[in-house]
Structure 1
Amino acid sequence: MRHSAGRAGLLFVAGIASSLGFAPWNLWPLTLIGIAWLIRETATTQTVRQAAKAGWVFGFGHFLLGTHWIAQAFQYQQDMPAWTGWIGVVLLSAYLAIFPAMTTAATRRLTGLPLILSFAGCWTIAEALRGILFSGFPWNPLGAVALPMAGLGQGAAFVGGLGLSALIVLAAGGLYLLVERQWRAGAAILGLTVAAALAGLIPLRTATPLTPARLNIVQADIGQDEKWSEDGVERAAAKYLQLSPKPTRAARLLIWPEAAIPDLLDEMPAMRRRLGAHLGPNDLMLLGALKAIREDDGTAIAARNSLFVLDSEGGILARYDKKRLVPFGEFLPARTLLNAIGLDRLAPGALDFWPGPGPRTLPLPSGFPAVGPLICYEVIFDGRVTEAGYRPAWLLNVSNDAWFAGAGAEMHLAQARLRSIEEGLPMARSTPTGISAVIDANGRVTASMPRGQAGTIDARLPQANAPTLFSHAGRILPLLLAGLLVLFGWGLGRTR
């Protein structure tokens, strides 16, 4: 019993260590060591139950650190004490740990190279399922660890973040094989990983090409408590306008974050005219605000989390409605039942949000390139960020990272970088408290403003790359890679 508890404790620590490879820590060698330890434990288990338990304990530690930032969101919920946020983190981590448990249970009977290959494939498939089931939560794919590993992150242009997850597991498996003195197989896997990382340095050697489009991204450092205060709308508008540069002869895009105006902007003509007065004749403003869905008699029945495009007269040129909504954040499942026991969604308001139609490309006037909007955590869903058949020239991620602890904001930025590499598109990110940034089509941050600082990013929009292989094929490629790894691993294991 004592020996079993000790092994579980080491697996839990290994899971936490593996999560230290994500931003902001970027200690990727610990990720490789942690995954290698999990593979070793999988190889020594005797039953499916033991293997699943090993994967679950590891996954619980892995996701506990990776999602700890969620606890901060409960500080703004009036009906529940802040400590309930940690209960939410524990329950979420316990659920997410099921996916590593699926991987270890499926590969238990294999050893050596067959185990490594099948483990990488099963981990990738489980990660893909994690992004789909129960509306999906693909936060921190293991592939995000590849971003600081020389040029390995550039592989996302071919196999996406999911494919990079398979490569990370393979590299960890290579370490395991070396420890097991299977020199040839271990050296071959690690050699291929190093070669891929070095090849990825080639596109990073060139300077970032820029377009003529000028961006003014405003970060007002407005927290949740200030944003939803009684006079929050007026205070937000005044602060954003104060920080927004005055117009010049050169046309520019003035960008404010998600719900910068926490009210129904389309029903506020005076506010729109006030905002438009801050624009030059060819300027455009892109900002987040809310929209009500009303019955024929005017009764509001729901709301939308929207991005508005305004001209200098305050006219609405376009609107994008967020598709992927956050459970308990933007809508409350089984509202009647949960309200009865005192639970409510984290964002204030009695109305739930309704989802929009999905990815859209918005054409912009005045010669500005068409944009693909993404609101908040929509940016963490790979392969579903652009409108089919209508590729934008850039991506815009407006978010409200004021909900997050600092590490969460860093992780969010890293996943946005993955999307830029996958699609070969630059991205502008606007958040109220940081981290706002401009990202080029190779995932490099060309301009940014740190968390907790107010100001404006004045930058030119980077140029898009040619459409990537991943942008054409989407998730088919990494899932095909994962399937081949599983089949080859199981086939090799049966032969042996």
Structure 2
Amino acid sequence: MTEVRKALLDNQVQALTRMAMRRPALLSLALGALSATGFAPLDLWPVALACFALWMWLIHEAPGLRPALLRGWLFGTGHFAVGNSWLQHPFLYQDAMPHWLGYVGVLLAAFYLAIYPMLAAGLAWRLASPRAAGHSGTKPGLAYLLVFGAAWIVTEWLRATMLSGYPWNPLGVIWVPVIGIARIAAWTGTYALSGLTIVVAGMPILAAGRRWRAPAATLAILALLALSGIHREASRTLVPAGRPHIRVVQPNLDEEERPTPDYAENSLRALESLAGTPGAHPRLIVWPEGALRFFIEDGYPVDYYWNGSPVAIRRRIAALLGPRDLVLTGGNALQFDGAGNLTAGTNSIYAIDAKAAILARYDKAHLVPFGEYLPLRPLFTMVGLQRLVPGDIDFAPGPKPRTIALPGFGDVGMDICYEIVFSGQVIDPAHRPAVIFNPSNDAWFGAWGPPQHLAQARLRAIEEGVPIIRSTPTGISAVIAADGRLLDSLPLHKAGTIELPLPQAGAPTLFSHLGNWMALLVATAMLLLAVAFRRSPR
């Protein structure tokens, strides 16, 4: 009876293989597109795992390196076209370019980003597929999955660093809804977690080959980690009482996407209306990126101050504060050359106290190409490709991530918007902060961009063991604990505030000590294990 069941299973696997081989290129594209549903806001991570499993089977069965590379590239094209579909949204608010160009932009970005899954697939096929050695009919083994996982780690890290880097939606972020598994990133970091996810996704391939012990053990471990996360979520208190308070403001600025001439004043009034009342606890009031549209530094030509002097604006802000309160707000600064000509701006954070003094300023270091500056400006301007976010000048980058000591609140790390998605690059390693402030402006990025941004911020909190405070004009604003839990959040397109005691940092994690060296260590360990499994007797 057992032999009959094995024969039936073999027949089913062979039938599935024949069906897949009829249209492997089209199936790869479809699997890639469907796999993107594993990311926020859909969070269909089981679907993503199944898609990756079938895709890895297709790569294993490729008759040569070129077909393997093609299947990898097509999978990546579908994966990134759907996952990054929100990139089309900013074109709706940039009248200098046709709106349909947004769809072309999404596809062009996907064509480029698909190179990295293509390389991972090619490496896995070349190094671990029996067909590369001239054999056929051999089922995938654990060594193949380990090599694939290692290749994915390397190529995902390359995607995060090449050409200024674009690490949006690393595969490991699909585990954020299953927080117990996502917390593995405290040891491994995100890119290594992505590689481990590849191995987990491929376990059904082994089960199809009757190697059931490894898949069963893996599923049991994942279940225990998931249950552990649920238990910790339910049992741990939020934050201790008696600490200074954080007040997160989300004004839901309905003019954010298409500002009017009165936008700067309307925005400041919206922020003032949500400032609250000073109380017994010192408050760190945080405002979003892009919400304060007045220049508040002294020394600019008068024409640049619009309808409010910098001192007057700072005094309006200070009037909202108790004697121990501070405001952290996104804002902009200007840079001039020696002749007084405007040369660039900065995307900045300001700390303002109750005496209307600017205590500190941080300038964003990792700028967004085509959003905050235009690469090869003369060329792209000539062909009509201006910045996606309206503006006449480019931003200039500031120094690397910085920690600023704020009186009464301790050491606060600064990361503006997109900077928070760069694993291993969000804090000053020489000056570990107690909390990270991440003002962001996701108003242009539709319904998918903001929840994906939030999920990646939660992974940064887990990796570094540091809580993160996010304030955005239109959502999603949140207070994230050092272990990745959402202590509170405000949904999209809703005005409101969050006020909580300032969360505490956790102990430094292994990843916070080693950074992305962990990706190299895990990838190397996978390759060594793959060699060991291939040499061991079957």
Same-fold status (TM-score > 0.5): yes
Q: 1:249 to 1:151 in 2, by over 3 A?
A: closer
Taking the aligned partners of 2:318 and 2:342, their CA distance within structure 1 comes to 27
Identity among equivalent pairs (%): 43
The number of residues matched between the two structures is 494
Q: Give the Å deviation of 1:167.
A: 2.1
Q: 1:185 to 1:435 in 2, by over 3 A?
A: same
Match of 2:341 among 285, 299, 311: 299
Taking the aligned partners of 1:419 and 1:168, their CA distance within structure 2 comes to 18
Identify which range, 475-484 or 182-191, moves more after superposition.
182-191
Task: Look up the equivalent residue of 2:514 and give its one-letter code.
Answer: A
Note if contact 1:437-1:447 (Cα within 8 Å) is conserved in structure 2.
Answer: yes
Q: Give the Å deviation of 1:196.
A: 4.2
Q: Does 1:363 align with 2:405?
A: yes
Task: Look up the equivalent residue of 1:419 and give its one-letter code.
Answer: R
| Gap regions ≥5 residues in structure 1 | none
Aligned match of 2:356: 314
Identify which range, 174-183 or 207-216, moves more after superposition.
207-216
SS in 2 for 1:459: strand
Identify which range, 474-483 or 432-441, moves more after superposition.
474-483
Match of 1:10 among 27, 35, 42: 27
Aligned match of 1:412: 453
Q: Give the Å deviation of 1:198.
A: 4.5
Aligned match of 1:348: 390
Match of 2:505 among 464, 467, 483: 464
Match of 1:250 among 250, 268, 281: 281
SS in 1 for 2:244: strand
Q: Which string of whole-angstrom CA distances, capped at 9 and with x for unpartnered residues, describes residues 393-416 of structure 1?
A: 101110001011111100100000
Q: Which string of whole-angstrom CA distances, capped at 9 and with x for unpartnered residues, describes residues 341-378 of structure 1?
A: 2221123322110111011111001x212110110010
Which protein has the larger Cα radius of gyration, Structure 1 or Structure 2? 2
Match of 2:102 among 85, 89, 99: 85
Aligned match of 1:287: 329
Aligned match of 2:151: 122
| Gap regions ≥5 residues in structure 2 | 1-18, 130-139, 299-309
Q: 1:261 to 1:209 in 2, by over 3 A?
A: closer
Taking the aligned partners of 1:334 and 1:125, their CA distance within structure 2 comes to 29
Q: Give the Å deviation of 1:298.
A: 2.2
Q: Give the Å deviation of 1:226.
A: 5.6
Match of 2:164 among 91, 110, 135: 135
Aligned match of 2:16: none
Q: Does 1:264 align with 2:298?
A: no
Note if contact 1:256-1:287 (Cα within 8 Å) is conserved in structure 2.
Answer: yes
Q: 1:328 to 1:263 in 2, by over 3 A?
A: farther
Taking the aligned partners of 2:401 and 2:320, their CA distance within structure 1 comes to 29
Taking the aligned partners of 1:149 and 1:103, their CA distance within structure 2 comes to 26
Q: How does 1:42-441 map to 2 (within 5 A)?
A: 42-108=59-125, 109-110=128-129, 111-149=140-178, 151-198=180-227, 200=229, 203-204=232-233, 205-210=235-240, 212-223=243-254, 225=256, 228-267=259-298, 268-365=310-407, 367-441=408-482
Task: Look up the equivalent residue of 1:354 and give its one-letter code.
Answer: A
Task: Look up the equivalent residue of 1:356 and give its one-letter code.
Answer: G
Task: Look up the equivalent residue of 1:235 and give its one-letter code.
Answer: N
Note if contact 1:42-1:54 (Cα within 8 Å) is conserved in structure 2.
Answer: yes
Task: Look up the equivalent residue of 2:277 and give its one-letter code.
Answer: K
Aligned match of 1:20: 37
Identify which range, 160-169 or 123-132, moves more after superposition.
160-169
Q: Which string of whole-angstrom CA distances, capped at 9 and with x for unpartnered residues, describes residues 174-199 of structure 1?
A: 12211222223333443444444455
Aligned match of 1:447: 488
Taking the aligned partners of 1:125 and 1:357, their CA distance within structure 2 comes to 27
Task: Look up the equivalent residue of 2:23 and give its one-letter code.
Answer: G
SS in 2 for 1:125: helix
SS in 2 for 1:412: helix
Note if contact 2:239-2:501 (Cα within 8 Å) is conserved in structure 1.
Answer: no
Q: Which string of whole-angstrom CA distances, capped at 9 and with x for unpartnered residues, describes residues 250-284 of structure 1?
A: 32011110121134321422211111111111110
Taking the aligned partners of 1:21 and 1:192, their CA distance within structure 2 comes to 20
SS in 1 for 2:405: coil
Note if contact 1:52-1:104 (Cα within 8 Å) is conserved in structure 2.
Answer: yes
Note if contact 1:215-1:254 (Cα within 8 Å) is conserved in structure 2.
Answer: yes
Taking the aligned partners of 2:44 and 2:436, their CA distance within structure 1 comes to 29
Identify which range, 350-359 or 453-462, moves more after superposition.
453-462
Task: Look up the equivalent residue of 1:209 and give its one-letter code.
Answer: V
TM-score normalised by structure 2 residue count: 0.88
Aligned match of 2:307: none
Taking the aligned partners of 1:410 and 1:434, their CA distance within structure 2 comes to 9
SS in 2 for 1:148: coil
Q: Give the Å deviation of 1:242.
A: 1.6
Taking the aligned partners of 1:79 and 1:198, their CA distance within structure 2 comes to 51
SS in 1 for 2:23: helix
Task: Look up the equivalent residue of 1:305 and give its one-letter code.
Answer: N
Q: Give the Å deviation of 1:77.
A: 0.7
Taking the aligned partners of 1:208 and 1:169, their CA distance within structure 2 comes to 33
Q: Give the Å deviation of 1:65.
A: 1.2
SS in 1 for 2:202: helix
Note if contact 2:62-2:68 (Cα within 8 Å) is conserved in structure 1.
Answer: yes
Q: Give the Å deviation of 1:170.
A: 1.3
Note if contact 1:73-1:346 (Cα within 8 Å) is conserved in structure 2.
Answer: yes
Taking the aligned partners of 2:355 and 2:110, their CA distance within structure 1 comes to 48
Identify which range, 217-226 or 340-349, moves more after superposition.
217-226
